[in-house]
A and B are shown apart, each in its own frame.
Chain A
Amino acid sequence: EDQVTQSPEALRLQEGESSSLNCSYTVSGLRGLFWYRQDPGKGPEFLFTLYSAGEEKEKERLKATLTKKESFLHITAPKPEDSATYLCAVQEAGGSYIPTFGRGTSLIVHP
């Protein structure tokens, strides 16, 4: 059973068309939830860490939010350079330090 599920698997947007990516998780207690951006052939680049429900973080056109069961990565007025795969990872409270990764959402923003 997957602990971290990301949806949709792929998303195509027009430049300026805002949308949201979802990460749902099923751990019994959350220590931290992480969002990464990964460009083809490169390592994941850290974006945000969220620790408790209600927490929000922003960076340029991206805003991450967290509830007790899921996190959203909101992309406002995306640009073609926002095209990448966005990964979500969850670290369980009381467990090891090793996060569980989702399969990612592949985002393509057309000009």
Chain B
Amino acid sequence: EVQLVESGGGLVQPGRSMKLSCAASGFTFSSFPMAWVRQAPTKGLEWVATISTSGGSTYYRDSVKGRFTISRDNAKSTLYLQMNSLRSEDTATYYCTREGGGYGFSFDYWGQGVMVTVSS
């Protein structure tokens, strides 16, 4: 059974950093691109970042480029999101997703989500 379990969220002050982790199991982690998708309270979904299978290619939305870093450790089957210079608008539930559905671009498995609150 595919499982994605996020951790590392919580309350953080503006300008500070936080690192999210996503432990994957039930599939060959190194064979799938992975992504983070977020959802601000009562708002819609927003793609944040994607990483290739090897980690050699990464893609970000403009609003997080230069502040967030997506990475992976295939030996540990773990995905990460390092978030620096956090802003109030980064407050959201962050979902770890597998980009393996359909023809390879769809998010076919999602974690339960981890809440990040940026506030003083």
Check if A and B associate: no
